[in-house]
């Protein structure tokens, strides 16, 4: 089935990017990584939109919605998740970032009038239990697990703000073709990151080794660019519930890839936190 194939490819591209970004942080400062990869991804998505002859003109009166979506779903998400990796392992950031369906379910109550059910509240508690397991019990060799709290705060803030952007987009969507919309969101969302890059950081791209360049190009062209195109293509072919369930493959891929590529621990703590978080996400997203 084309839709399921597109969904699988999307989840793999997103999941693999977490250890790559963590690796890049050893060579580049955070905003430089996201701004550079974002430029690559935006150029690719723009090229695809032009090849499809999609209209790039935003509808009149919807610039505010477009800028807000870009700020929440691109600027905040990319900046905060990358900052969280300065304190957390890639596997930990992955798990925390994918609590976003839980926050979407909660925000849908005041913003969309979708009252949370008892099952969704239980899902929230399960997800928070997974977060607590990551924070309160450090992995072997961690002297002070509480020192990672800034990273936890950044990752959860990223998930909450992305969830807010998702709910607001459902309440007042921007009427544009999907690829053109992604191009505008990524382009506008990159502007704050570019400013922070130029004001705060002095990256040395000439000193990058081959692995770092490959990770940077992968993050831009595939995880940031092509993955959004395949995601929207999957959404057009699959029910939203199936697409959301399938996207939960991404944190599983992220945790396993972080263990394989970076040597991060993959024990009962990580597996338990992942199981609790994904169980809570599934209940929050799909329970009636």
Task: Supply the pLDDT for residue 144.
Answer: 62
**What band does 219 get if pLDDT is binned at 50, 70 and 90?**
very high
Task: Supply the pLDDT for residue 198.
Answer: 92
- pLDDT at residue 270 is higher than 60: yes
- pLDDT at residue 165 is higher than 80: yes
Cβ count near 271 (within 10 Å): 11
- Greatest mean pLDDT range, 57-61, 195-199, 231-235: 195-199
Task: Supply the pLDDT for residue 245.
Answer: 63
- pLDDT at residue 86 is higher than 90: yes
Task: Supply the pLDDT for residue 228.
Answer: 81
Task: Supply the pLDDT for residue 35.
Answer: 94
Residue % of the chain over a pLDDT of 90:
44
Q: Tell if the pTM clears 0.95, that is, is over it.
A: no
Task: Supply the pLDDT for residue 267.
Answer: 83
- pLDDT at residue 138 is higher than 70: no
Average pLDDT over residues 271-279: 85
Q: Which tops the pLDDT comparison, 225 or 241?
A: 225
Task: Supply the pLDDT for residue 288.
Answer: 59
Round the average pLDDT of the chain to a whole number and report it. Answer: 85
- pLDDT at residue 127 is higher than 80: no
Average pLDDT over residues 158-165: 90
Task: Supply the pLDDT for residue 115.
Answer: 76
Average pLDDT over residues 83-110: 86
How do residues 3-32 score in pLDDT, each as one tens digit?
Answer: 778 888 988 999 999 999 999 999 999 999
- pLDDT at residue 43 is higher than 90: yes
Tokens of 41: 């991804």
């Amino acid at each position: 089935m084309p839709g399921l194939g597109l969904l699988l490819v999307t989840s793999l591209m997103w999941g693999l990017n977490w250890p790559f970004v963590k690796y890049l942080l050893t060579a580049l400062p955070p905003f430089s990584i996201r701004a550079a990869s974002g430029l690559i991804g935006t150029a690719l998505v723009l090229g695809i939109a032009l090849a499809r002859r999609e209209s790039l003109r935003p509808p009149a009166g919807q610039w505010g919605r477009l800028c807000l979506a870009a700020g929440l779903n691109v600027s905040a998400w990319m900046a905060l998740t990358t900052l969280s990796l300065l304190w957390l392992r890639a596997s930990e950031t992955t798990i925390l970032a994918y609590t976003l369906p839980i926050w979407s379910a909660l925000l849908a109550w005041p913003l969309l009038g979708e009252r949370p059910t008892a099952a969704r509240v239980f899902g929230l508690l399960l997800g928070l239990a997974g977060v607590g397991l990551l924070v309160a019990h450090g992995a072997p060799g961690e002297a002070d697990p509480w020192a990672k709290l800034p990273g936890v705060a950044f990752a959860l803030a990223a998930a909450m703000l992305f969830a807010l952007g998702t709910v607001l987009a459902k309440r007042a969507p921007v009427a544009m073709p999907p690829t053109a919309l992604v191009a505008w969101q990524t382009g506008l969302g990159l502007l704050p990151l570019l400013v922070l890059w130029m004001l705060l950081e002095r990256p040395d791209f000439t000193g990058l080794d081959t692995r770092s360049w490959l990770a940077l190009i992968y993050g831009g062209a595939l995880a940031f660019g092509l993955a959004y195109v395949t995601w929207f293509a999957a959404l057009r072919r699959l029910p939203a519930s199936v697409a959301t369930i399938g996207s939960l493959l991404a944190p599983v891929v992220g945790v396993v890839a972080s263990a394989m590529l970076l040597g991060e621990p993959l024990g009962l703590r990580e597996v338990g936190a992942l199981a609790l978080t994904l169980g809570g996400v599934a209940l929050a997203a799909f329970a009636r």
